């Protein structure tokens, strides 16, 4: 494999909590009952959004705001797993297979560890390659430390003309 056949991408997303009781909290495609939801045009799944941006960045295909603008009513309340799936298709159409994605989520609540396997399995099935999710607290520093929202950093690796399964 030639180094020209690899691309790394970084994605970041942050959403603030809302007191709107109609907003449900969705992270990594999983619903967290009994937790405050996040503000956003779509379902505000910060993990799925960061993964999408990491993939688009790696492929040099812009960002999710460009492909799925929040001014477009088509994406209002959108299931972000559908967006992520479309991003995987865009990247594949450009000749890239996903090797893996690694996510670091920063929040005080909810506790992610009990749902980590479920989020990883959900994201992995959508992406078609391993997706790992790690939770980190902000140690009471700043807005995230005051439990005002949730941020996610994601790193994606793409391989030219190959899927993760072919690599093995």
Which residues in this chain contact Mg ion in the complex, by CB under 5 A? 13, 49
Coil vs helix vs strand at 100:
strand
Q: Among the residues of the chain, which ranges form H helices?
A: 46-59, 64-67, 80-93, 116-127, 142-145, 164-167
- Our CB check for Mg ion shows the closer of 36 and 49 to be 49
Question: Which residue, 16 or 160, has its beta carbon nearer to Mg ion?
Answer: 16
- The distance of closest approach from Cβ of residue 165 to Mg ion in the complex, given in angstroms and rounded to an integer, is 29
Please say which residue, 49 or 115, places its beta carbon nearer to Mg ion.
Answer: 49
Q: In the complex, what is the shortest distance from the CB of residue 25 to Mg ion, in angstroms, rounded to a whole number?
A: 13
Closest distance of CB 104 from Mg ion, Å: 16
Do 21 and 62 form a contact (C-beta atoms < 8 A)?
no
Give, as one character, the DSSP assignment of residue 140. T
**For Mg ion, which residue has the nearest CB?**
49
Residues in contact with 93: Cβ distance below 8 Å, sequence separation at least 6, in sequence order = none
**Minimum distance between the CB of residue 153 and Mg ion, rounded to whole angstroms?**
13
**Helices and strands counted in the chain (H then E):** 6, 6
Q: Are strands 96-106 and 149-160 parallel, antiparallel or unpaired?
A: antiparallel
| Residue number, 79 or 164, with CB nearest to Mg ion | 79
């Amino acid at each position: 494999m030639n180094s020209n056949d690899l691309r790394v991408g970084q994605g970041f997303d942050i959403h603030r909590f809302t007191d709107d009781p109609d907003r449900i909290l969705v992270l990594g495609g999983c619903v967290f009952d009994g937790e405050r939801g996040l503000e956003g045009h779509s379902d505000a799944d910060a993990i799925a959004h960061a993964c999408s941006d990491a993939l688009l960045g790696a492929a040099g295909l812009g960002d999710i705001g460009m492909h799925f603008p929040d001014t477009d009513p088509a994406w209002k309340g959108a299931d972000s797993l559908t967006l992520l799936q479309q991003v995987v298709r865009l990247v594949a159409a450009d000749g890239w297979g996903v090797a893996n994605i690694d996510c670091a989520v920063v929040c005080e609540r909810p506790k992610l560890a009990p749902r980590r396997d479920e989020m990883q399995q959900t994201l992995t099935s959508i992406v078609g390659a391993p997706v790992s999710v790690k939770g980190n607290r902000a140690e009471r520093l700043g807005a995230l430390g005051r439990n005002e929202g949730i941020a996610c950093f994601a790193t994606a690796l793409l391989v030219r003309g190959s899927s993760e399964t072919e690599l093995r």
